[in-house]
């Protein structure tokens, strides 16, 4: 695996080292030692899959509060996504900044999202599947989110008129989300 640090501290783009022959390829997609060597959280306790029927579905921006903050490793296994990380760590030099990476089944890229960051994506193709590996268990009481269209973030999503769940449509703007997280609700 090749690790490329991104503009948000602790966030990495991972590219697989493909060992190819006439049959296809083999690649290692996880190695705790390589993550530890870079100071990344090597703990994996849960894996999830998100299947999305249509192009334009937007999921996010989601995160979990302390003590259930989670690092995520995300890979698109079918289709393609525009994957977004927002730094919510108030002590970070990139607080409130975001980055986006296109992940597709063909480019085999993975995105490492550190604890304290919100995550979301928009599907670029029909029938898109996303595979997540997380460092913490899902804790419903710790789940929070930020509106996808918060003007304070000004995220440039690739497709207009996204398809959102009722839950994601009701997420607060960043200022309110941070206030609620600090209050521990």
Q: What is the DSSP track for 119-137?
A: EEEEESSSSEEEEEEESS-
Look at residues 63, 12, 8 and name the one whose alpha carbon lies nearest to residue 174: 63
Instruction: Say whether 68 is catalytic.
Output: no
Catalytic residue among 12, 62, 108, 112: 62
Length of the chain: 185
Look at residues 19, 28, 78 and name the one whose alpha carbon lies nearest to residue 52: 78
Catalytic residue among 108, 112, 119, 132: 132
Give residue for tokens 């703990």.
Answer: 43
Instruction: Say whether 62 is catalytic.
Output: yes
Taking phi over 0 as left and psi of -120 to 50 as alpha, with beta for the rest, 161 belongs to left
* Residue numbers annotated as active site: 62, 132
């Amino acid at each position: 695996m090749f690790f490329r640090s991104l503009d948000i501290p602790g966030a990495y783009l991972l590219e697989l080292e493909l060992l190819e022959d006439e049959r296809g390829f083999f690649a290692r997609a996880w190695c705790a030692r390589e993550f530890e060597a870079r100071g990344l959280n090597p703990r994996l306790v849960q894996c999830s899959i998100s299947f999305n029927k249509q192009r334009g579905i937007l999921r996010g921006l989601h995160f979990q509060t302390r003590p259930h903050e989670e690092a995520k490793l995300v890979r698109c296994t079918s289709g393609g996504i525009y994957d977004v990380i927002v730094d919510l760590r108030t002590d970070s030099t990139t607080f409130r900044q975001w980055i986006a990476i296109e992940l597709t089944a063909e480019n085999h890229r993975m995105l490492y999202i550190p604890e304290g960051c919100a995550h979301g994506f928009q599907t670029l193709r029909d029938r898109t599947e996303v595979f997540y590996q997380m460092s913490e268990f899902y804790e419903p009481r710790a789940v929070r989110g930020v509106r996808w269209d918060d003007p304070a973030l000004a995220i440039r999503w690739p497709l207009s008129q996204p398809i959102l769940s009722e839950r994601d449509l009701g997420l607060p703007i960043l200022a309110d989300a941070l206030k609620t997280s600090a209050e521990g609700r």
